[in-house]
A and B are shown apart, each in its own frame.
Chain A
């Protein structure tokens, strides 16, 4: 049995969750319980100060009762057995139940799962952050600060319904290296972000990556604004991933189908992208920042192919929308924390790699832009508009990346139009960590990525 390091009260309550489910199902057609504890550590080192501190923690119990039409939930701080059992009784006491619709609890499934535990001490992690910071300080007189920001997020959860008894421990780590430079027009910065699941070594940027951060930060001091227009572009894996995330990530969350917010519902098995395009969401992808063993509704993690050779195949589901729309479940029912509802959410979402070597892709571009670093994106599942903001991009001239830099750069356009212009898909694949909201709230950790892509898009 793996060591899940569940907090003692959570561990004690877990062994009584079948009683809680029984209290709910004595009246309701479906009941479930989720125990969730999210905690974390932050270490920050810069030229002027340091921090070692815990991230704000959330921990509590969600009791779910389906009344035949509505999911009724009580969320209670902590894991006190008597409080949780009373909460379950109160939840179903005054409710009315119908058999209008039923929820399938799924097949029998049991298991305890854990990612590798990070065994380094806080002091050792701090020392490594200091070493990294020292490597960059003083490389150029225009560098006014270098910040190393390390975070580890530990999620421990247990799920129980009448068919499932699951528990997991997932540790995610990410490391931001931010170089801040100053010039006559103010400050500029560049950053590299690395993530890993339980393995510190995967976090450490290479010397080339560190040098590139310094070079790009300095280049930003004299970056130009791009002339708005349509360009041939090559996207880095991070930018590819952001396009993927905002288009056929958010656009295929099936709770959006239920709300009539997703145009994709009309495009099932229809062409939405170049035949070179394959898109997946996969919570089981090892090393992905959105990795887990099961979702917050007890569905075991497995990949979903969303787009197959340019055809939209299926969306990603939460329990309610899958039930209401009679869709096959995928493991995408996620909560920001126990205080929030579960929605259909992405995990690790990416374009699958293709066959084109990246150098060959650049060789195909006579004049274009290499979009290198993404900043943010926003979904528009109904309008299929796309907004992806890139921190910067470089000019490509005669197949070579030049020193000419543009910043920031917005990508806009109509999603299928943009995806159908993809003419080459690189044979590489990188996933980058990020935070994903539903609109401006409901933040969960995800990753997005893919290979380099060659396409046309409107930039400004």
Chain B
């Protein structure tokens, strides 16, 4: 069908540029509850994602353009679908822009060969590892788990000669640990819920995560009320990655994704300027250097090429606190006269100089889990509920739950020390720990 689509598009004299992505996906899904296997699913998906660009003209005779997107399934009425796309594109009048030209593509590792060979067996093996890891902790039990393995093949062709194929895999796993103490009216039950996504099974530290989460469950049973605290706050691992907009199963756009994008700049949503500090206050601790990295091996948002066909790059977005580039699709690159970078990809943050252990001086509060860390991507402001935290003082590590961590992402990063140790959390590569000088935990009593 791909050939028919291309032949049809080439025959259209009213279409100035086009691209087609033939996307096929095979996935295997396993869902368990305590009583056994709830569901097993096998999914195949195939579609053609077509983008067209056509020239239009304003009432004043100025040449403009319109673009549109359609999805065509095997067996669909192709000519009718393309007519629809052309009609939609003909309605709008945007400044002219181009589509990507062919260029060398980096060889970014994206696929797990073992998962590709036998996804069902691989998921069963992962579930076995998970069950065995949980069984080592007598005080917790696993009441549910979900495991997904998927392989996606994308063949992209555009009217300027881009012709590229990439194959990527994804393995996603989530599970629930329940722990209980006391009896009758004194009974207390808590849960620790985990979601992880990686390109390959080898990237999942299931045993390590189960150990951590089993400890969290135990600590939640002993958790006290939240403190009123303004001062040092430590984040580590996936929680720190989440602070930067990484380690999320959904590509929620962080302040860096949004304000660092050419689209936001063009639409006046971002006031960031190349060469200027991204902070609104003086930086008093470690400087921030951050990359939008689509070349990260096995990164959740890595690719050889993006949806437009732009090759993967490691874009230095912020260097020593100053904006050095915007991420931009071909369209916004043309509009802003900057280099096209393609989609953002993964977050990479430069490490600090001190070992993590040096960032743990007392007193401080550590946040181990949020309900959802979701700062405003426009302002960076946040007020997020704490699922589990620790008050670390006088040699004691006291767990607490509840309360809010209140602050602003950019203000917080103007006063932070990063560890020298680095870690990879799916869509984040950078320091494994950060100590923020001044954040507020509000118990709000």
Contacts and interface: CB of A to CB of B under 8 A. Distances in A.
A269 interface: no
B267 A48 contact: yes
Given A51-B67, A71-B38, A229-B444, A412 B75 contact: no
A70 B53 CA distance: 48
Q: List the 4 closest pairs (A to B, CB-CB), nearest first.
A: A410-B383, A228-B442, A458-B444, A387-B385
Nearest to A125: B91
B190 A187 contact: no
Given A49-B94, A186-B379, A460-B406, A382 B445 contact: no
B35 interface: yes
Interface in A372-405: 375-376, 378, 380, 382-383, 385-387, 389
Interface string A205-226: 0000000000000000000010
Contacts of B66: 50, 52
A9 B75 contact: yes
A77 B44 contact: yes
A78 B383 contact: no
Interface in B341-379: 371-372, 374, 376, 378-379
B116 to A, nearest CB: 18
Interface of A: 7, 9, 39, 46-54, 56-60, 69-80, 122-123, 126, 144-145, 147, 180, 182, 185-189, 225, 228-230, 258-261, 263, 320, 324, 339, 341, 375-376, 378, 380, 382-383, 385-387, 389, 407-410, 412-414, 437, 439-441, 458-460
Interface in B215-273: 220, 228, 248-250, 266-271
Given A260-B34, A410-B406, A378 B92 contact: no
A8 B88 CA distance: 22
Contact of A261 (B44, B70, B176, B406): B176
B268 A52 contact: no
Contacts of B374: 375-376, 378, 389
22 contacts: A48-B266, A48-B268, A51-B68, A54-B84, A70-B36, A71-B39, A73-B42, A77-B47, A145-B267, A186-B271, A225-B406, A229-B445, A260-B143, A261-B176, A375-B376, A385-B401, A387-B384, A408-B381, A439-B193, A439-B195, A440-B248, A458-B445
A46 B381 CA distance: 25
Contacts, number: 242
B83 interface: no
Interface string B401-444: 11110100000000000000000000000000000000010111
Contact of B268 (A7, A60, A144, A440): A144
Given A69-B37, A122-B87, A409-B383, A260 B378 contact: no
B141 to A, nearest CB: 8
A50 B93 contact: yes
Contacts of B76: 7
B37 to A, nearest CB: 5
B269 A412 contact: no
Contacts of B383: 389, 408-410, 460
A180 B268 contact: yes
A441 B178 contact: no
Contacts of B379: 186, 188, 408
A186 B280 contact: yes
A332 B15 CA distance: 44
A145 B264 CA distance: 11
Contact of A78 (B25, B46, B69, B85): B46
B444 A228 contact: yes
B378 to A, nearest CB: 6
A437 to B, nearest CB: 7
A72 B120 CA distance: 13
Contacts of A51: 67-68, 92
Nearest to B31: A341
B31 A185 contact: no
Max chain B CB contacts within 10 Å: which of A49, A72, A378? A49
Contacts of A189: 269, 378
A459 B44 contact: no
B371 A80 contact: no
Most A-side CB within 10 Å, residue of B40, B46, B248: B40
Contact of B37 (A70, A126, A229, A230): A70
Given A77-B74, A78-B75, A261-B176, A385 B406 contact: no
A258 B176 CA distance: 12
A366 B367 CA distance: 36
B436 to A, nearest CB: 17
Given A53-B88, A228-B442, A410-B404, A74 B382 contact: no
B381 A382 contact: no
B74 A52 contact: no
